[in-house]
């Protein structure tokens, strides 16, 4: 999905290794400048002569003038590092053609032409993992956003829709399986080679093209659609991985059934193929009929995959399948509309996962991701609307804002309309725009027409960046409760002044004496301020606000601590109960870090938090999955977001001190809960998953309050574990403690799973994210480990991105953590620019950090910016981060 462009200088060119080339900012592309492409390409035929070192591609395209565009005497075919081996127009020479940078420009005099171009590429040398590349002896593609131009000259933009016919040929022994988009229409062999021909009847943009050739085996099943179509399903993996694909296949079948029942969407081909690839920049890609996945989101069994891995596989497989309609059948007119497909599809996968498991827990997990990644993005130098107005490098806009905030914006429309009317709106959207390259406005208009909502002002959510802040006051007079709300949308880069946006807020007012409320209500704050009155309250009620997280906003309110304790113990909305517990802890931690608490106040606040947490532990109405969410402490990043200037060292120290205090106060109920949970036998059911969750959380509290006891209990859990969730949870705790058991269990884990790349990724990540005092030295040593490589994105993320998310190590006071990430970016950029660029944002948050560390973070960014030959991806991220 996220595609980075090639660095300006080719990889591994010794003649240019020392050349000091000043990086240049790529040109700005603006949404307002969009114009339809002057030529249509209704059909394209491609022939691939496959090889790892050399693949020859013959592309034949029929082109005709686009009546909806301004006429042009030339057609511009995008390329990236290509040279035409041969070129013909209508069977003869192309007299008028030239190279303009990487693009091929051809002069065409008539209205219809046939262009044939032959190119040659080296998949084995493609470390960027865009276009056609080699991965462990197989060939595969990744074309979103602009990777197709690394395979063939073509108008590589999402509004050029073509019907593809593809013939692939290659050595049968090397590539026994040949896969492409659509349906297989023919195959054969001759001598040592064989071929397969594929046809996709549905017009698609070039970013959805896909090809896989390799030595693979498949788990095969079938699905009968609601219209009676029998669809062959295949999950393709390497030999030896087949027994870990059952969950992926079952997730696919559940996704297909759910999309029919909830959105009325039926699959439209005879085949659906999933291929697992070890070297992949992102999670997965929704290519029509041929989804290519990172192995992380396909392979699972209880011994090697955690409960989180199982959930991730189900969610990502659902996401990519749902793209068949929200992304493929209806695609984006241009890349500014990326949230049209991604925001809508994220919402669809969230709803699917909620229906497959615990809806309250899923909602909390989604909000945690939003607050942990998107809120900081919204408050930093990289802030942008979910539909940006401009970009320089599109790969840098595959962001949490586009995906996660985009989903929240559509969820708000669903909340305001109700599920039935929202379904009418989405049906109308699919009916109106099937087979088109559409815009975000097309989607909003369909929802507006289908639901009857007035969404004129709501469109501001698509145009304005920043997380709105809602200031709330609850007043009580006589028997009337009044809620006063006021909103502000903070200034962000390029948008100093904002307009108010409609904010739907679900709320309930609890009677203090009965602990009950009279029903949930939805209010919409549509102006800068508003007042809402509620009668029938003899005493001031307790307000539960933004229930189910009905709006992606930050709420600022002065709420008595006893009210938070009340909500944390008694709110009937699971998210609101979680929110009260988080607010209780966060409020204390922010005050403690800021030095605003005396010793008596500290003691009183800690006692109240412990009282609320004990109520959670002992509430037999809760299942352990939800209990685990309520037991979690707020993250370091979320605490930092509540402060104008964050002090990472003090946040870490106060957070660990509170964890230790709670662990000591609640040692008895924690251990009783652990003992109960430990008796539950392994299964993939909700009860057993919840038991595993609370056990690991209790180990974390014990590690802070009683390290010796934690070592003993974690080692015991590790030794008796019959699943990866328990084993990894125990090792996570041990990795942060200085003990003999730490060394023994890390060595045992490595030896037990040596050769399993996904599990060894966990081994790297556990050490890089640990609270061990020598974590930086551990990361340095691991970077020299024989199993570490910069060429595999999963391995890079497992070590360095896990470390960048570790507030203890990354924010070391001397700046060594910042230098570690800067060194990574400089070394990785020539190898894989996309992964390098995605490592920049943690450094870019320097504006919200105390001055000493901020200076060191900025110095690290300056050092990256000064390097010669930076890729466009990394150059843009760094310069925007510096401001």
Known catalytic residues are 320
Q: H helices of 797-871, where? A: 802-804, 807-810, 816-828, 833-837, 851-865
Q: Would strands 162-171 and 177-180 be described as parallel, antiparallel, or unpaired?
A: unpaired
Side-chain half-sphere of 273: how many Cα atoms within 13 Å?
Answer: 27
> Residue 759 to residues 300, 309, 744, 750, 765: CA-CA distances in angstroms?
10, 11, 17, 9, 10
Cβ(491)–Cβ(466) under 8 Å? Answer: yes
* Rg of the chain taking only CA atoms, in angstroms: 28
Helix (H, G, I), strand (E, B) or coil at 154: strand
* Token duo for residue 65: 């003038």
> Residue 387 to residues 163, 398, 406, 842: CA-CA distances in angstroms?
28, 11, 9, 23
Report the 10 Å Cβ neighbour count for 883: 12
- Three-state SS for 16-42 is HCCCCCCCCCCCCEEHHHCCCCCEEEE
Helix (H, G, I), strand (E, B) or coil at 334: coil
Q: Would strands 503-510 and 437-438 be described as parallel, antiparallel, or unpaired?
A: unpaired
Helix (H, G, I), strand (E, B) or coil at 257: helix
Phi-psi group of 313: left, alpha or beta (phi > 0 → left; psi -120 to 50 → alpha; rest → beta): alpha
86 bridge partner residues:
118
Helix (H, G, I), strand (E, B) or coil at 63: strand
Query: 66-74 long-range contacts, Cβ below 8 Å, gap at least 24?
Result: 66/36, 66/37, 66/38, 66/39, 66/40, 68/36, 69/35, 69/36, 69/37, 69/38, 69/39, 70/35, 70/38, 71/38, 72/38, 72/39, 73/107, 73/108, 73/109, 74/105, 74/106, 74/107, 74/108
- Three-state SS for 616-656 is HHHCCCCCHHHHHHHHCCCCHHHHHHCCCCECHHHHHHHHH
> Residue 872 to residues 357, 391, 458: CA-CA distances in angstroms?
41, 12, 34
CA distance 376 to 466: 10
- Within 8 A by CB and 6+ apart from 807, the residues are 636, 637, 648, 651, 652
CA distance 50 to 197: 13
> Residue 129 to residues 170, 399, 713, 844: CA-CA distances in angstroms?
21, 19, 43, 25
Burial class (CB in 10 A: 0-12, 13-18, 19+), 258: buried
CA distance 534 to 540: 11
Q: At what angle do helices 599-618 and 624-631 cross, to 10 degrees?
A: 170
* Phi, psi angles (nearest 5°) of residue 144: -80, 130
CA distance 62 to 76: 14
Residue identified by tokens 């090639």 is 6
Burial class (CB in 10 A: 0-12, 13-18, 19+), 107: middle
Cβ(776)–Cβ(817) under 8 Å? Answer: yes
Cβ(6)–Cβ(871) under 8 Å? Answer: yes
């Amino acid at each position: 999905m996220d595609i980075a462009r090639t660095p300006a200088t080719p990889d591994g060119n010794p003649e240019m290794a020392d050349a000091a080339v000043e990086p240049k900012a790529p040109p700005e592309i603006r949404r307002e400048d969009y114009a339809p492409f002057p030529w249509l390409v209704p059909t394209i035929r491609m022939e691939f002569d496959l090889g790892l070192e050399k693949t020859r591609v013959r592309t034949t395209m029929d082109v005709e003038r686009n009546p909806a565009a301004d006429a042009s005497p030339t057609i511009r075919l995008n390329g990236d590092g290509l040279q035409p081996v041969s070129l013909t127009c209508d069977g003869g020479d192309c007299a008028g053609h030239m190279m303009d940078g990487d693009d091929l420009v051809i002069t065409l005099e008539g209205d219809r032409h046939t262009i044939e171009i032959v190119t040659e590429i080296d998949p084995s040398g493609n470390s960027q993992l865009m276009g056609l590349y080699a991965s462990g002896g197989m060939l595969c593609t990744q074309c979103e956003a602009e990777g197709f131009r690394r395979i063939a000259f073509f108008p590589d933009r999402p509004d050029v829709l073509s019907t593809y016919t593809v013939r692939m040929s290659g050595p049968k022994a090397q590539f026994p399986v040949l896969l492409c988009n659509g349906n297989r229409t023919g195959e054969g062999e001759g001598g040592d080679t064989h071929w397969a021909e594929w046809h996709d009847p549905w017009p698609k943009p070039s970013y959805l093209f896909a090809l896989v050739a390799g030595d693979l085996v498949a788990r095969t099943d079938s699905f009968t659609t609601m219209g009676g179509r029998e669809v062959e399903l295949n999950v393709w993996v390497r030999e030896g991985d087949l027994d870990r694909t059952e969950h992926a296949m079952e997730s696919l079948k559940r996704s297909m059934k759910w999309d029919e029942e909830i959105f009325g969407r039926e699959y439209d081909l005879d085949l659906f193929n999933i291929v697992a690839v070890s070297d992949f920049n992102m999670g997965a890609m929704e290519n029509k009929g041929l989804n290519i996945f990172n192995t992380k989101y396909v392979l699972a069994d209880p011994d090697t995959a955690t409960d989180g891995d199982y959930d991730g596989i189900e969610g990502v497989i659902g996401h990519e399948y749902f793209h068949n309609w929200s992304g493929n059948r209806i695609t984006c007119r241009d890349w500014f509309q990326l949230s049209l497909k991604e925001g809508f599809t994220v919402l669809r996968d969230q709803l699917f996962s909620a229906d497959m498991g615990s809806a309250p827990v899923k909602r909390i997990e989604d909000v945690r991701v939003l607050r942990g990644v998107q809120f900081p993005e919204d408050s930093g130098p990289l802030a942008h609307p979910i539909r940006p107005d401009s970009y320089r490098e599109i790969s840098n806009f595959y962001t949490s804002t586009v995906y996660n905030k985009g989903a929240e914006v559509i969820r708000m429309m669903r909340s305001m309309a109700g599920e039935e009317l929202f379904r009418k709106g989405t049906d109308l959207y699919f009916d109106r725009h099937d087979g088109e390259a559409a815009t975000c406005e097309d989607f909003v208009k369909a929802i507006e027409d289908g639901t009857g909502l007035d969404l004129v002002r709501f469109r501001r959510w698509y145009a304005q960046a920043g997380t709105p802040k809602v200031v709330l006051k609850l007043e009580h007079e006589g028997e009337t409760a009044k809620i006063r709300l006021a909103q502000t949308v903070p200034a962000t880069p390029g948008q100093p002044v904002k307009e108010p946006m409609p904010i739907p807020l679900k709320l309930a007012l609890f009677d203090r004496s009965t602990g009950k409320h009279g029903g949930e209500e939805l209010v919409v704050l549509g102006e800068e301020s508003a007042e809402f009155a509620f009668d029938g309250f003899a005493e001031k009620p307790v307000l539960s606000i933004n229930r189910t997280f009905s709006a992606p906003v930050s709420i600022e309110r002065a709420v008595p601590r006893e009210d938070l304790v009340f909500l944390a113990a008694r709110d009937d909305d699971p998210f609101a109960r979680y929110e009260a517990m988080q607010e209780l802890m966060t409020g204390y931690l922010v005050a403690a870090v800021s030095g605003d608490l005396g010793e008596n106040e500290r003691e009183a606040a800690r006692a109240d938090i412990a009282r609320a947490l004990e109520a959670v532990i002992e509430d037999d109405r809760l299942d352990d999955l939800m209990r685990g969410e309520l037991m979690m402490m707020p993250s370091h990043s979320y605490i930092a977001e509540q402060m104008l200037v964050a002090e990472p060292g003090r946040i870490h120290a106060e957070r660990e001190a509170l964890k230790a205090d709670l662990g000591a106060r609640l040692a008895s109920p924690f251990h009783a809960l652990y003992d109960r949970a430990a008796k539950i036998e392994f299964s993939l059911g909700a009860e057993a998953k919840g038991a595993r969750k609370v056990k690991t959380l209790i180990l974390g509290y014990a590690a802070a309050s009683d390290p010796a006891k934690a070592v003993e209990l974690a080692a015991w859990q590790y030794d008796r574990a019959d699943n990866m969730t328990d084993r990894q949870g125990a090792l996570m705790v041990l990795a942060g403690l200085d003990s003999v058991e730490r060394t023994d269990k890390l060595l045992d884990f490595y030896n037990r799973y040596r050769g399993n790349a996904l599990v060894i990724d966990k081994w790297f990540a556990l050490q890089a994210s640990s609270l061990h005092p020598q974590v930086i030295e551990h990361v340095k040593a691991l970077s020299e480990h024989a199993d570490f490589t910069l060429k595999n994105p999963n391995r890079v993320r497992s070590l360095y991105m896990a470390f960048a998310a570790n507030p203890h190590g990354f924010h070391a006071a001397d700046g060594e953590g910042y230098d570690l990430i800067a060194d990574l970016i400089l070394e990785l950029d020539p190898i894989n620019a996309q992964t390098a660029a995605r490592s920049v944002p943690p450094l870019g948050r320097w504006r919200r950090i105390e001055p000493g560390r901020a200076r060191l973070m900025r110095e690290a960014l300056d050092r990256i910016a000064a390097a010669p030959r930076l890729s466009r991806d990394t150059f843009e991220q760094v310069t925007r981060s510096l401001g």
